[in-house]
């Protein structure tokens, strides 16, 4: 009897000691999780948030109950468009590791986002760890330089493609036109040849636009008033905006803003940005709304390396742009509009024109709040 009691006591003691370390490790693990200064989130491969540390809650300015169970894109990006899948959520489904520099408006900053899948004993990934470390000023400058280099590489590629396509398509158009001239009017052959000519000319226009993006066209720069470019652009879209119930608010100085540039090309940039703003506003507000407006400001002169820079800002309170695709906005043929609504060349051409004028074009946007397109151009000394 005494041996049995002793064995029972030993088993009970072993059970107690075996459970104690497990409880202790769980407690320590949670303490470490909360002690991490950078925002950390635990999500499923489908992007559903399972847990968030105190740093993440602080950065998001939300309570834990507001975050748990929500989609990761909604919390860190501010949401997404119905016709555009969130690149982050798409990547999480692959259950792969990744490190990238990105803007996270939901956490109010620029971050180095580390994605780390957590495998179970059977190798299945049910949880993914996201760690967001805020970037330093030096790291952000380096990231901007890298993006500029990437866009330059895309421009070279676009120019190469345009040159290779331009010659054969010109031949196709000319030969089709010769056959069309010899064909009977209103015949099936004439109709088909007419289509070939029209589609060929459309391809030729695309190659021309690609060369504009690659900055391989002559600009014919001359002294122009940037404010007059804006005024003339607004006069062309004023009726359309009024018809859509869109108010246009302007804020710029009375004195001319003299720069060296091509009036027509810069007007094309302004018109394109206003057109995008108008589309976003009509998507968010199909009817009238006091928030249905476009704000255009010009000024904010800033000194940069002994150069005077003039800044144009075109802001709308439309649908906004998903944060995960902001870096791709200026790529040729990439569009945020639904299928059939855009070619994806407007912003890429605008980018090329602004670069050709020695300036920069940037975008700042938060879903369902606003989009700001910011153009910076050097002011002329004359």
Q: Are residues 167 and 301 in the same domain?
A: no
What CATH number did the domain enclosing 131 receive? 3.30.450.20
The whole-number pLDDT of residue 185 equals 84
Q: Are residues 190 and 159 in the same domain?
A: yes
The whole-number pLDDT of residue 15 equals 46
Q: Are residues 192 and 231 in the same domain?
A: no
Task: Report the largest interatomic distance among the alpha carbons of the chain, rounded to a whole angstrom.
Answer: 116
pLDDT at 160 over 60: yes
Residues 6+ apart with CB under 8 A from 269: 350, 353, 354, 361, 375
What CATH number did the domain enclosing 330 receive? 3.30.565.10
Of 197-201, 328-332, 335-339, 374-378, the poorest mean pLDDT is in: 335-339
Query: What is this structure's pTM?
Result: 0.58
DSSP H/E element including 337:
none
Residue 31 lies in a domain: no
41 burial (CB, 10 Å; 0-12 / 13-18 / 19+) is buried
The whole-number pLDDT of residue 241 equals 92
What is the average pLDDT score of the chain? 81
Q: Are residues 100 and 193 in the same domain?
A: no
Mean predicted confidence (pLDDT) in 220-230: 88
Mean predicted confidence (pLDDT) in 162-168: 79
Residues 6+ apart with CB under 8 A from 217: 208, 211
Q: Looking at the chain, which runs of residues are DSSP E strands?
A: 40-43, 49-52, 98-104, 109-119, 125-134, 222-225, 247-251, 258-261, 293-304, 307-316, 360-366, 370-378
Under the banding of pLDDT at 50, 70 and 90, the label for residue 24 is very low
CB 113 within 8 A of CB 104: yes
Residue 155 lies in a domain: yes
User: Which of 170, 190, 213 is a domain's end point?
Assistant: 213
Tens-place pLDDT, residues 307-361: 788 999 999 999 888 776 777 788 777 776 665 566 667 788 888 888 888 888 9
Q: Are residues 149 and 237 in the same domain?
A: no
Q: Domain of 268? A: 222-378
Q: Are residues 243 and 364 in the same domain?
A: yes
Residue 3 lies in a domain: no
269 burial (CB, 10 Å; 0-12 / 13-18 / 19+) is buried
Q: Are residues 183 and 308 in the same domain?
A: no
CB 281 within 8 A of CB 316: yes
Q: Are residues 331 and 365 in the same domain?
A: yes
Tens-place pLDDT, residues 124-140: 999 999 999 988 877 76
Q: Are residues 189 and 155 in the same domain?
A: yes
User: Which of 213, 233, 250 is a domain's end point?
Assistant: 213
Tens-place pLDDT, residues 90-137: 889 999 999 988 888 788 888 889 999 999 989 999 999 999 998 887
Which carries the bigger pLDDT value, residue 150 or residue 368?
368
CB 272 within 8 A of CB 346: yes
pLDDT at 4 over 60: no
Tens-place pLDDT, residues 256-310: 888 888 888 899 899 999 999 999 999 899 988 999 999 999 986 766 667 788 9
Q: Are residues 154 and 239 in the same domain?
A: no
DSSP 3-state helix, strand, coil percentages of the chain (rounded to 5)?
50, 25, 25
Q: Are residues 262 and 359 in the same domain?
A: yes
User: Which of 86, 108, 135 is a domain's end point?
Assistant: 135
Residue 360 lies in a domain: yes
Quote the tokens at residue 87: 């690149």
DSSP H/E element including 81:
none
Q: Are residues 106 and 173 in the same domain?
A: no
The whole-number pLDDT of residue 344 equals 66
Q: What percent of the chain has pLDDT over 90?
A: 34
Closest CA relative to residue 375, chosen from 274, 254, 231: 274
188 burial (CB, 10 Å; 0-12 / 13-18 / 19+) is exposed
Counted domains in the chain: 3
């Amino acid at each position: 009897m005494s041996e049995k009691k002793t064995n029972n006591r030993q088993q009970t003691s072993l059970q107690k000691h075996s459970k104690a370390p497990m409880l202790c490790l769980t407690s320590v693990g949670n303490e470490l999780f909360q002690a991490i200064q950078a925002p950390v989130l635990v999500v499923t491969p489908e992007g559903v948030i399972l847990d968030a540390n105190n740093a993440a809650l602080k950065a998001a300015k939300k309570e834990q109950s507001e975050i748990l169970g929500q989609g990761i894109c909604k919390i860190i990006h501010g949401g997404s468009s119905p016709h555009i899948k969130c690149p982050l959520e798409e990547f999480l489904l692959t259950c792969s590791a990744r490190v990238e520099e990105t803007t996270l408006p939901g956490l109010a900053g620029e971050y180095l986002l580390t994605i780390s899948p957590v495998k179970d004993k059977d190798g299945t990934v049910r949880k993914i760890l996201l760690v967001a470390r805020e970037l330093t000023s030096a790291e952000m400058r380096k990231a901007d330089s890298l993006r500029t280099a990437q866009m330059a590489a895309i421009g070279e590629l676009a120019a190469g493609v345009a040159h290779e396509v331009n010659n054969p398509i010109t031949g196709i158009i000319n030969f089709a036109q010769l056959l069309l001239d010899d064909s009977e009017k209103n015949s099936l052959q004439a109709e088909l040849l007419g289509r070939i000519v029209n589609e060929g000319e459309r391809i030729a226009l695309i190659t021309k636009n690609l060369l504009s993006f690659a900055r391989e066209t002559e600009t014919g720069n001359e002294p122009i008033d940037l404010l007059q470019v804006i005024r003339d652009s607004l006069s062309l879209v004023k009726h359309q905006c009024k018809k859509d119930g869109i108010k246009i608010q302007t804020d710029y100085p009375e004195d001319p803003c003299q720069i060296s540039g091509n009036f027509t090309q810069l007007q094309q940039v302004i018109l394109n940005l206003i057109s995008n703003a108008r589309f976003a506003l009509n998507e968010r507000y199909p009817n009238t709304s006091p928030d249905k407006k476009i704000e255009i400001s010009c000024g904010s002169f800033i000194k940069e390396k002994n150069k005077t820079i003039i800044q144009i800002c075109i802001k709308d309170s439309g649908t906004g742009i998903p944060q995960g695709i902001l870096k791709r906005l200026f790529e040729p043929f990439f569009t945020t509009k639904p299928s059939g609504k855009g070619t994806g060349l407007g912003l890429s051409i605008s980018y090329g024109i602004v670069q050709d004028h020695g300036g920069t074009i940037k975008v700042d946007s938060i879903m369902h709040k606003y989009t700001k397109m910011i153009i910076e151009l050097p002011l002329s000394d004359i």
